């Protein structure tokens, strides 16, 4: 497997900055590989899986704050070990030179020009580094829900609307469109619509490229994917499942907008109902607490009924750094999608459901079953 480009939408954000810094640190022998699923003992070996040393990073970000500064900020917040950004200053600066300030912001009424610029930036990055392939990974801010519009159901209809400038294409869809059009694999780590527009699925098939998504599963929902199958397997009836999420940082500030938070809440709700096979009552909340910084706290309250109607309760609290949990998954996904592309896969990759709250192409949410799917996929050469 040759060198693989990882083009990040939101390349100077917390998740992307942590992923880049982590990959550089591992490459330099300054960190171990904890958190990387693809590096776990016993995980199937696969020749087409690019090594961490073979990844080349670039991307877009609306922020002009240099990657070196973002890494320092994350170290001060406790996400990255103190002193690590200074030791990697030169390497971080070199990556930052491949990050273009700008990109899609979801507000332009000239989507054709936006797509042309994004595609040109990706192509220039690929040519500049002589890359065998590029995977575009969306780790930008979550967008408000965007329904698929019937008049843009086909690729021809969407392309016509883009050319006429008669629609505002969400930023996530711009990156998916540009990735597919440039012959690149795509990962949507957000709950935004991205590649889920039917026309973009058509474009992916036409360009013979794979894609995966959506909404990375890192904390509270990861536990739900373990606990909900437990209740189902033991035939215990869940009456309610309520949750509160307290977030700081840029992600929390973005999700303080109720419309934007709706995308995240929808992907978080789906898992329990679909796993248990019946609707479960319970409100979910996302609240912004600036003082938490890069930390996140999730608290869940579950009521369930057992034998002879006995009523019982489960509560759990999850506290951690979402960026530190998400970053290794971004690296795993970039490598796995690149390997699938090299193996000739095209279209959605439901076998990567293990990494997502709302996986494309499958309704399997049981974490153990998803892990079996992932291992089988890799063992069979990502075909």
30 band by pLDDT with thresholds 50, 70 and 90: very high
194-250 pLDDT, tens digit per residue, is: 999 889 999 999 999 999 999 999 988 899 999 999 999 999 999 999 999 898 877
pLDDT confidence of residue 28:
96
pLDDT confidence of residue 158:
86
For the residues 36-62, what does the mean pLDDT come to? 94
pLDDT confidence of residue 160:
85
When the pLDDT of each residue in the chain is averaged and rounded to a whole number, the result is 91
Residue 192 predicted with pLDDT over 80: yes
120-169 pLDDT, tens digit per residue, is: 999 999 999 999 999 999 999 888 877 665 556 788 888 888 887 777 78
For the residues 277-305, what does the mean pLDDT come to? 92
C-alpha 86/C-alpha 258 separation (Å) is: 38
Record the tokens describing residue 236, joined without a space: 């215990």
pLDDT confidence of residue 284:
87
Give the closest residue to 91 by CA, choosing from 186, 161, 15, 24. Answer: 24
Residue 370 predicted with pLDDT over 90: yes
Residue 255 predicted with pLDDT over 70: no
Stretch among 19-23, 248-252, 304-308 having the lowest mean pLDDT? 248-252
For the residues 314-318, what does the mean pLDDT come to? 95
pLDDT confidence of residue 105:
79
pLDDT confidence of residue 267:
66
C-alpha 243/C-alpha 260 separation (Å) is: 18
pLDDT confidence of residue 241:
96
For the residues 58-75, what does the mean pLDDT come to? 96
Higher pLDDT, 299 or 250: 299
Higher pLDDT, 146 or 182: 182
Stretch among 158-162, 280-284, 359-363 having the lowest mean pLDDT? 158-162
Residue 98 predicted with pLDDT over 90: yes
pLDDT confidence of residue 108:
62
84-96 pLDDT, tens digit per residue, is: 999 999 999 999 9
3-class SS letters over the chain: CCCEEEEEECCCCHHHHHHHHHHHHHHCCCCCCCCCHHHCCCCCCCCCCCCHHHEEEEEEECCCCCHHHHHHHHHHCCCCCCCHHHHCHHHHHHHHCCEEECCCCCCCCCHHHHHHHHHHHHHHHHHHHCCCEEEEEECCCCCCCCCCCHHHCCHHHHHHHHHHCCCCCCHHHHHHHHHHHCCCEEEECCCCCHHHCHHHHHHHHHHCCEEEECCECCCHHHHHHHHHHHHHHCCCEEEEEEEEEEECHHHHHHHCCHHHHHHHHHHHHHHHHHHHCCCCECCEEEEECHHHCCEEEEEEEEEEECHHHCEEEEEEEEEEEHHHHHHHHHHHHHHHHHHHHHCCCCEECHHHHHHECCCCCCCCCCHHHHHHHHHHHHHCCCC
């Amino acid at each position: 497997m040759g060198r693989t480009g990882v083009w990040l939408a939101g390349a100077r954000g917390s998740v992307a900055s942590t992923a880049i810094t982590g990959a550089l640190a591992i490459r330099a022998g300054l960190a171990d590989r904890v958190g990387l699923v693809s590096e776990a003992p016993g995980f199937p070996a696969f020749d087409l899986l690019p090594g961490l040393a073979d990844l080349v990073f670039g991307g877009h970000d609306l922020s002009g704050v240099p990657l070196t500064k973002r890494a320092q900020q994350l170290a001060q917040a406790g996400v990255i070990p103190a002193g690590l950004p200074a030791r990697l200053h030169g390497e971080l600066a070199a990556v930052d030179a491949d990050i273009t300030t700008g990109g899609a912001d979801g507000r332009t009424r000239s989507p054709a020009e936006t797509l042309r610029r994004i595609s040109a930036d990706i192509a220039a990055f690929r040519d500049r580094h002589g890359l065998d392939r590029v995977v575009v990974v969306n780790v930008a801010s979550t967008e408000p829900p965007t329904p698929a519009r019937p008049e843009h159901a086909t690729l021809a209809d969407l392309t016509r609307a883009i050319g006429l400038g008669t629609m505002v294409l969400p930023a996530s869809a711009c990156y998916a469109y540009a990735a597919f059009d440039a012959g690149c694999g795509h990962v949507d780590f957000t709950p935004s619509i991205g590649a889920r527009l039917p026309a973009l699925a058509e474009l992916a098939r036409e360009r013979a490229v794979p894609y995966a998504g959506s909404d990375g599963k890192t904390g509270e929902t990861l536990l739900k994917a373990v606990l909900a199958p437990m209740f189902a397997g033991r035939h215990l009836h869940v009456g309610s499942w309520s949750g509160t999420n307290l977030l700081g940082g840029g992600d929390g500030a973005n999700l303080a907008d109720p419309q934007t938070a709706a995308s995240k809440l929808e992907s978080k709700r789906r898992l329990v109902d679909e796993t248990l096979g019946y609707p479960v009552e319970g409100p979910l909340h996302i609240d912004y607490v600036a003082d938490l910084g890069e930390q996140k706290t999730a608290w869940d309250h579950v009521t369930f009924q057992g034998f002879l109607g006995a009523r019982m309760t489960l509560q759990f609290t999850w506290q951690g750094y979402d960026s530190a949990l998400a970053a290794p998954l971004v690296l795993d996904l970039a490598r796995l999608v690149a390997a699938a592309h090299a193996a000739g896969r095209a279209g959605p990759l439901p076998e990567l459901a293990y990494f997502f709250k709302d996986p494309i192409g499958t309704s399997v949410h049981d974490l153990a079953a998803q892990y079996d799917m992932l291992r089988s996929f890799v063992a069979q050469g990502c075909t």
